[in-house]
Structure 1
Amino acid sequence: MAMDMRQIVAALLTVSMFVMLGNMIKRDHFDSLEYKAIKVSKQGLVKVIGATKGVWKGDEDALKPCWNKPLPKEGGQSRGFIIFSLTDGPEYHVSQIADAVVVATYLGATLVLPHIRGTKPRDTRSFGEIYNEKKFVKSLDGIVRIAKYRPPQLSVEKLTAVRVPNRVSEAYIATNIEPLFKTKGNLSLETHFPSSTTMNAKEFEYFDSLSCLAMFGTLELQSELKQVVGLMVERLRALSRKSNGPFVAVDLRVEMLENKECRESDDFGKLWCYNAVEVGEFLKGIGFHRNTTIYLTQSGWTSLLDPLRQSYPKTYTKEDIRPAGKKAKLLNIEISEFAKIVDFHICSESDVFVPAKSGLFYTNVVGKRIASRKTQILVPSKTTPSSSSDAHISPYISKKSHSAFSCFC
């Protein structure tokens, strides 16, 4: 009987070895044949040059902040307050926070913790409903004073409103904001975003330690929301493991295609945005297998997306992967602000990110991905993959033109 048991164990071990070997062969076959069009260079940049493995390898170690914690401005804090709100979604929040912190620190003012305003009048939420208050306050401790609540004597109607350009410089503050602050004592800030939403490190040399800290070291999702988004990311990873490949997040929303500019092209022949058919053709042309797991930022399915699902059946939206039970109630994706939060963080965490439209969402997602060394970012193009590898790599990565490269090393 003992001999029979040893034989059984040996047989099981043999079967197990063959299964493992089979899986290895399948994976090697998958990597070398199905995804042979893409490779990652020593610098971690995506190259469409026809070799093995590529962007599907594990992410490299996260970069470390290059900045030092800024020293507080001499002269201490004044009695004035800077009021502002976060609007339009997380891709705007990053920039709005940075501008408010830079202005308040330069003026020596107290920064009031912002509310988060939605697209509808009643969609107003406290900062702590979305972001980690303790993390925010601690990250700026000793740099700028933070007030959790607006002083009751300050009425928004009576405050002087000031529009500041995104990535506001000290020179601009000294000339246009400081005189008003000295006269009025309190100001309400609103960040103005120019038509060009690119962020080039070489063009903005003032991007110093304070700006880096404000953009990349202050905002973190509050714990429950962070957990829910994490569960959604893990579900996408589990689905992608079943097909033995990566999961791709595509920023594709039908409403953005209604803009006339979407069908226009830039000086290099690239469109400003791409529809479901064009995204599907691009993914197939660059070598993504039919079973690739794809996440779309679109809220709710529409027939305009059917061509993509026909090419890639494993295409999902937020509604498909949202958690059940209590956690589903926390994540009310019918509210646009929560939907945008989900999109922003899933696109930041995906194995591969494909922006179907240029803009601030693309820019600030890339910033978060650079910080975590997730540089697998492919920009759609109508050219064939063999024509030019540079046509598919985000120029933020290939040219290191994103300001995040000034903040991390």
Structure 2
Amino acid sequence: MAIDLRQVMAAFLTASMFVMLGNMIKKDHIDPFFESVESWPNDQYNVMKIARLKHVEVLANYANLWEQIPPPKLCWKKPSPKLEGHSMGFILFSLKNVPEYHASQVSNAIHVARHLGATLVLPDIRGNKVGEKRNFAEVYDVNKFMSSLDGVVHVVKKLPTEIYSTKITTIRVPGRVSELFILTKIGPLFKTRRSLRLVTQVPSSKMVKKIKKWNTAPHECMAMFQALDLRPELKQLASSMVQTLRSLSQKTSGQFIAIDLRKDMMDKIRYQKNTSSESKRCRNAEEISQFLRKIGVHNDTTIYITQSRWNDNLNALREIFPYTFTKDAIMPMDGKARFMDAERSQVEDLIDLHICTESDIFVPAHFNQFYANVVGKKIASGNSKVLVPLKKASTSVGDYISPFITKKSHQAYSCLC
């Protein structure tokens, strides 16, 4: 059979085109990832290379602890729309630099503004330094915030210029402010001032730890699950980090554990050396590692720690679980340049909240509002796998499931059906 030179050349050119296309994909999508990996701390980078070598089942032992049920539905009754009319005044507030309190602050502001017939002004966000402020739109989705409150309370992005120049009275209000407090304490002042700035008192760790039944109002449900959503760019960044953890978790079928063990907690633990283990509210890295080993977590499990960068206080955890990573190891380079400061930023806290919510198992080292927020979001997502490292002799995983879940005492249950 004669060979057609034109067919040979066509086949050669076609093959060359596929090789070029493959090189382009490698250059644009694969090489940049590994180039960024080279800049990671050597210990975390070396661990990542090893983590890709083999595949084993690690978290299979926990499969039957939680029933595989579809996520519950958000089913609270939205408050009836307020009659349109002239606003009686304005309610202002600033979100704290600690994001886990944002939902309760928004809930209080909605409740007060709605009860008084006032217009709610889009809040700003306090920075880490005195006088430092961040625009709401830098962190949260403004359109989502305003649309979710449509018909519930009137919201404006800015305070009118003629009111902005006047002195606005500040009033402190308790968390979950009651209608009686609004009527007796806030109402009379609002009638004379017409514009007030709210400062919501945050709950203590003891209040968070205390398990009790909640009767959640609709505006609290909206604040928890609808109003506050990360702006698209930040949400995409956090989601990409979750995907990186899942890709590194080949040994656990894409599953990973998230542990809230931030540096500020570690600093507090240093002052607890003379405190008995039973009365401590925080668990350090060594105690967390012992807990995970006690309940049978495999050494090859991928673990995410809510810290910006690796520090020696975490070494005890990596000695047992070598595939343990911090934010610095999995955040893309462009994200590091924009969102990781010398001091931990509130953006990092929000990223941690997203990652912990998406994790397969969440372990809090401290009873705080961050823990309560993650549990609420995990309950709503249908993934309520939260283990609390209590001081017990038991090796049964079921004995450490969060009381928020076993007693169905989290306020999120009031918003779901």
Q: Is the Cα contact below 8 Å between 1:249 and 1:353 reproduced in 2?
A: yes
1:167 alignment partner, SS class: coil
Quote how far apart the aligned CAs of 1:323 are.
1.0
Tell me the equivalent position of 1:317. 326
Tell me the equivalent position of 2:208. 198
Tell me the equivalent position of 2:24. none
Equivalent residue pairs, number: 360
CA distance in 2, matches of 1:161, 1:180: 10
Quote how far apart the aligned CAs of 1:389 are.
5.4
Find 1:396's aligned residue among 387, 404, 409: 404
What's the CA shift string for 1:224-274, capped at 9, x where partnerless?
1110111001101111124446201100023223336856569xx463110
Quote how far apart the aligned CAs of 1:35 are.
4.8
Find 1:166's aligned residue among 159, 162, 175: 175
Find 1:234's aligned residue among 232, 239, 243: 243
Tell me the equivalent position of 1:30. 57
Residue 102, structure 1, aligned to residue 129, structure 2:
no
Quote how far apart the aligned CAs of 1:202 are.
5.2
Residue ranges of structure 1 left out of the alignment (5+ in a row): 1-25, 45-59
Structural RMSD (CA):
2.6
Residues 324 and 254 of structure 1, relative CA distance in 2, 3 Å threshold: closer
CA distance in 2, matches of 1:124, 1:382: 41
CA distance in 2, matches of 1:74, 1:154: 24
What's the CA shift string for 1:340-398, capped at 9, x where partnerless?
11111111111110000111110111111111112000000232333x65641100000
Residue ranges of structure 2 left out of the alignment (5+ in a row): 1-53
Greater Cα shift, 66-75 or 367-376: 66-75
CA distance in 2, matches of 1:256, 1:156: 41
CA distance in 2, matches of 1:221, 1:274: 29
CA distance in 1, matches of 2:340, 2:310: 17
Tell me the equivalent position of 1:305. 314
Q: Is the Cα contact below 8 Å between 2:122 and 2:156 reproduced in 1?
A: yes
Quote how far apart the aligned CAs of 1:307 are.
0.7
Partner AA of 2:91 in structure 1: I
CA distance in 1, matches of 2:76, 2:252: 41
1:187 alignment partner, SS class: strand
Q: Please show how residues 198-217 of structure 1 align to structure 2 within 5 Å.
A: 198=208, 203-205=213-215, 207-217=216-226
Tell me the equivalent position of 1:176. 185
Quote how far apart the aligned CAs of 1:298 are.
1.6
**Percent identity between the aligned chains?**
45
Tell me the equivalent position of 1:272. 281
Quote how far apart the aligned CAs of 1:95 are.
1.1
TM-score, normalised relative to structure 2: 0.79
Residues 338 and 214 of structure 1, relative CA distance in 2, 3 Å threshold: closer
TM-score, normalised relative to structure 1: 0.81
CA distance in 1, matches of 2:288, 2:249: 19
Partner AA of 2:125 in structure 1: I
Tell me the equivalent position of 1:331. 339
Larger relative helix fraction? 2
1:150 alignment partner, SS class: coil
Greater Cα shift, 210-219 or 80-89: 210-219
Find 1:363's aligned residue among 348, 372, 387: 372
Find 2:197's aligned residue among 172, 183, 188: 188
1:198 alignment partner, SS class: helix
Rg larger for: 2
